[in-house]
Structure 1
């Protein structure tokens, strides 16, 4: 089966917000889950380009991009689809991938995400601290 990557529809907002909320609560176990809210999705993606990944009519996840800085702000995959290629499909849907440079921040404690990005050609180019913890900046440079 193939992945369909498309822009979000109005009817996707609730499921995208639920994926964003549930995956953060499951992944960022060191953060008080009360800090995460369903409304965060709309606020945190305001002004960003969103790519939705679906299979068989079901939404598997999404990627949000801040195009002005070629910054991948979020890539979230619903737990039942993690490890199935949805994240890879979203990266491949980025404009000019893989001939274009992209960057992102990945929390140091999110080892699974970091391994995913490193396996797709990203490299560590910086670091910092956020309210959720220490992060590394990862960049993808075209070959």
Structure 2
């Protein structure tokens, strides 16, 4: 059974690994631009509120939130645990603690994530460009 916890130091090794491995596979088109490493997790989630999905005492996914702006920054699930509703559980828990509206940015080339957020009720507010490509700014009214 999946349990959701606020991140603690015991989760960090698994979270670093998940963040590295899933980004390498998901954002394959950025491999010439970005050098991924294990310390990226600490830098990319600094100051954020992080919820962790735990299965059998092992972190299998996380969602990081920038609470001042009700912004979802990262949502990653270990590859062997994807398609088991863990992302939905984390997303629902995150939405409960944020104010409305909830926003996030998703690179258009990340088609699986775009589809996931649309299925969860997020609507496209606008499009923009970043160093990593074109993105959609999604919005969810609670």
Superposition TM-score tier, normalisation by shorter sequence: over 0.9
Encode CA deviations 1:51-94: one digit per residue, 9 max, x unaligned. Answer: 00011222110000000000000000111111101001101112
1:27 aligns with 2:21: no
Match of 2:113 in 1: 113
Q: Find runs of 4+ consecutive structure 1 residues off by over 3 angstroms.
A: 97-100
3-state SS in 2 of match to 1:90: helix
* C-alpha distance in 2 between matches for 1:113 and 1:14: 24
Contact 2:70/2:98, CA 8 A, preserved across alignment: no
Determine the structure 2 residue equivalent to 1:18: 17
1:73 is paired with a residue of what secondary structure?
Answer: strand
Aligned to 2:48: 48
Q: How far, CA to CA, are the matches of 1:96 and 1:8 in structure 2?
A: 17
Aligned length: 141
TM-score by length of 1: 0.92
Q: In the aligned structure 2, how far is the partner of 1:10 from the partner of 1:99? A: 27
Give the TM-score normalised by structure 2: 0.92
Corresponding position: 1:7 with 2:6: yes
| SS of equivalent residue, structure 1 residue 104 | strand
Distance 1:98 1:67 in 2: 7
Structure 2: runs of 5+ lacking an equivalent = none
Q: CA deviation at 1:14?
A: 1.4
The two structures, once aligned, show a CA RMSD in angstroms of 1.7
Give 2:37's aligned residue: 37
Matches of 2:97 and 2:11, distance apart in 1: 25
What CA distance in whole angstroms lies between the structure 2 residues aligned with 1:98 and 1:112?
A: 24
Compared CA separation, residues 130 and 63, structure 1 to 2 (3 A): same
